[in-house]
Structure formats: C-alpha cells, structure tokens
Amino acid sequence: KPLGRSFADLINNPSESHYQFLGVAPGADLEEIKAAYRRLSKECHPDTTRLPLKSASEKFIRLREVYKVLSKEESRRFYDWTLAQEAESRRLQQLRSRLEDPYELDLQNYKPVPDTVDRLGGKNMELSDQAMTALTFDIGIIIFSICCIIYAIFFKEQY
C-alpha cells in the first residue's frame, strides 16, 4: 500500500475527523487551519521529531492530506457534507434500531438446527475404541445367531 492515503480513505476514517486530527473546531477559518498545520508539521516531520520514523512519516503524510482537503474551499465543503451525511446515517440507524420489533429480529437470526447427518457433513460419526469393541461384539453375536438358526433349520437331523 502506498504511504499516502487516498481522499476517500481519509473521509471514511472513523477514528477521528480531520478537524480532530488538526485540533481545531469544525468552524475554524483558514488561518486557524494553517496555524495548526504548521504546529503539527514541526511536531511530526520525520526529520525533526523524536517519534519513530515510520510513525512520524505516517502522521506527516496524513497531515499533508488533511491540510490539502481543509485548505481548499470546495474539497472542505465536500468533506463537511460527507461528515454530515455519516452523522445523519448513524442517527437514522439508531432510530431504526429503536423501532424494530424484537420478535422480528429473532426470526431474522433464526437458523434451523440441522439433523445429525447434516451436522456431521454427511459423514459417518467416528466411534471411540470402546464403542467399536462393543459394536464388533454385537455384530459377532448377530452373525453367530444367524448361523445357529441356519444350522438348526437345514443341517440338524430331526429325531
């Protein structure tokens, strides 16, 4: 990823607004924005700061991008409009969440419980050693019983 962020990435950064990053009010005039930019550029310029180089570079690049947006009237208006749209969207989402029927939410989250075969992915269930031994013994008894019945019917002499 390139060092600089795109305009859209900066707009969509939910952690802090450009104004918070600069430490100015949203209604600040251009002179206040320039002063904040100069102050922060001295603090986070990679050549003059005590911050780690990577962190300083990232902050300085963000500072340049923020200043680029807020120093031009048209891009600042668009940015402010975007912030207002996001705030309105959050407000409407909160209203919607208060109006939603809790029973309807339960139905939306309902997932039917799959039967045993589906839960196992259509595969046979693996048995423990004890269960395998018991199953082998049971099958052996069934086979022995069938053999005894066949012998009694066909081979045993009748008296």
The encoded tokens of residue 144 equal: 């022995």
Look up the CATH superfamily of 7-109: DnaJ domain (1.10.287.110)
* pLDDT, mean of residues 9-29: 76
3-state DSSP assignment of residue 157:
coil
Least confident interval from 47-51, 72-76, 134-138: 47-51
Residue 10 DSSP class: H
Q: Domain map of the chain by residue range?
A: 7-109, 127-159
Q: Is pLDDT above 90 for 77? A: yes
Sign of CA dihedral 37, 41, 44, 45: positive
* pLDDT, mean of residues 5-13: 45
pLDDT of residue 109: 67
pLDDT of residue 86: 87
pLDDT of residue 125: 67
Question: pTM value?
Answer: 0.50
pLDDT of residue 4: 41
Percent of residues, the chain, with pLDDT higher than 90: 33
pLDDT tens digits along 140-159: 999 999 999 999 888 877 66
User: How far is Cα 144 from Cα 139, in angstroms, rounded to an integer?
Assistant: 9
Q: Is pLDDT above 60 for 100? A: yes
| C-alpha 105: how far from chain center | 20
